[in-house]
Structure 1
Amino acid sequence: MRNKFLIFLAIVVGVGLVIYTFLGGFAEVRVSQTVSTPLFIAGQYYEGNTNSDALGQIYQQTGKAVEQKQLTGDFAGIYYNNPGKDSKTIKAFIGVAVQDTTGALPAGFTIRVVPAGRKVLRGEVDANIIIAPKRIYGELFDYAKEQNLTLREFYVERFPEGKPAVIEVELAGK
């Protein structure tokens, strides 16, 4: 009986590792200091509990807008508080990074501009959106600590399809 359990456990662990690898769990996170480029995000602002139905609805509306071709671009977001902290509240603008800001937007959506020329710490990884944020934030915060860098509470996430996930954190001036 015990041998069957150990075999079952080994199979479950093996399948888990294959899935984690397929999602990019072991991909290298690349961290660099750079200057930001302009980014236009069509989306909706949310402030509140991370478990709220309202937050889930914003994600659903964003996905629906892309699916129905009302918006064309990459899933993106701006976070105004640290998403890496174990907090139950979030301040975020969630939407799609768009190229054309002149088109009609879905109801309730607005455009926010992430300005160019900001000094940022940038993390990139070839991983699924399920895994990428946690992996990138961990590396960014470790790098900032090692390099004695101060980060601002302004985080920009972008998840282009078929390309590496990107997160930029603004560096505080010295």
Structure 2
Amino acid sequence: MQKKFLIYMAIVIGLVLVFYTYMGGFAEVKITKATSTSLFVAGKYFEGSTEAEELGQIYQQAGEAVEQKQLTGDFAGIFYNNPSRDSKTVKAFIGVAIQDTSVALPAGFTVRVVPGGQPVLKGELDANITIAPRRIYSALFDYAKEQNLTLQEFYVERFPEGKPAVVEVGLSKK
């Protein structure tokens, strides 16, 4: 009986590792210092708990806008704080990175502009959207600490289809 259990557990662990690898869990995060480019994000602002149902609804609305071809672009978010630092409260603008700002927006959506030309720390990871953000943020914060860099409370996430996920964090000028 114990031998069957060990075989079963080995198979389950093996399948989990294969799935995690397929999702990009073991891919390397690429960190670079860069200069931001202008970005237009059509979406909705949210401020509140990271567990709030409304936040999940905004994510769904952004996804539906792309699926229904109301917007053309990649899933994106602008975060004005680090939710892990201050009690699971997030200040974010969630939506779609768009090229054409003259398009008709879905109900309740507005456009925010991320200015270009700013120094940023950029993390890229070819992984699923469920894994990428946490891995990228962890690598960015570790790198900033190792290099004695000061980061701003301003984060831009982009998840282009078929390309690595990207997170840019503003670098403070010393």
Q: Please, what TM-score do these two structures have when normalized by structure 1? A: 0.97
Could you tell me which residue of structure 2 aligns to residue 132 of structure 1? 132
C-alpha contact (below 8 Å) 1:23/1:127 kept by paired residues: yes
Could you tell me which residue of structure 2 aligns to residue 73 of structure 1? 73
Q: Which moved more, 1:82-91 or 1:121-130?
A: 82-91
How large is the Cα RMSD of the aligned pairs? 1.0
Tell me, in whole angstroms, the C-alpha distance in 2 between the residues paired with 1:151 and 1:55.
Answer: 25
**Structure 2 counterpart of 1:157, one-letter code:** E
Tell me, in whole angstroms, the C-alpha distance in 1 between the residues paired with 2:139 and 2:30.
Answer: 8
Could you tell me which residue of structure 1 aligns to residue 171 of structure 2? 171
Tell me, in whole angstroms, the C-alpha distance in 2 between the residues paired with 1:47 and 1:60.
Answer: 16
Tell me, in whole angstroms, the C-alpha distance in 1 between the residues paired with 2:69 and 2:35.
Answer: 31
Q: Secondary structure at the match of 2:87?
A: coil
Tell me, in whole angstroms, the C-alpha distance in 1 between the residues paired with 2:85 and 2:26.
Answer: 23
Unaligned runs of 5+ in 1: none
**Per-residue deviation, residues 61-80 of structure 1 (Å, max 9, x unmatched):** 11111111001100000011
Tell me, in whole angstroms, the C-alpha distance in 2 between the residues paired with 1:15 and 1:115.
Answer: 44
C-alpha contact (below 8 Å) 2:152/2:169 kept by paired residues: yes
Unaligned runs of 5+ in 2: none
Runs of 4+ in structure 1 over 2 Å off: 83-87
**Per-residue deviation, residues 26-50 of structure 1 (Å, max 9, x unmatched):** 1111000010000000000000011
Tell me, in whole angstroms, the C-alpha distance in 1 between the residues paired with 2:28 and 2:86.
Answer: 24
Q: Secondary structure at the match of 2:133?
A: helix
Equivalent runs, 1:114-133 vs 2, <5 Å:
114-133=114-133
**Structure 1 counterpart of 2:126, one-letter code:** D
Q: Residues 139, 84 of structure 1: CA spacing in aligned structure 2 closer, same or farther, 3 A cutoff?
A: farther
Could you tell me which residue of structure 2 aligns to residue 26 of structure 1? 26
C-alpha contact (below 8 Å) 1:158/1:165 kept by paired residues: yes
Aligned residues: 174
Tell me, in whole angstroms, the C-alpha distance in 1 between the residues paired with 2:128 and 2:27.
Answer: 10
C-alpha contact (below 8 Å) 1:84/1:137 kept by paired residues: no
Could you tell me which residue of structure 1 aligns to residue 57 of structure 2? 57
Could you tell me which residue of structure 2 aligns to residue 10 of structure 1? 10
Tell me, in whole angstroms, the C-alpha distance in 2 between the residues paired with 1:122 and 1:93.
Answer: 19
Tell me, in whole angstroms, the C-alpha distance in 2 between the residues paired with 1:137 and 1:67.
Answer: 27
Q: Residues 159, 80 of structure 1: CA spacing in aligned structure 2 closer, same or farther, 3 A cutoff?
A: same
Tell me, in whole angstroms, the C-alpha distance in 1 between the residues paired with 2:84 and 2:21.
Answer: 22
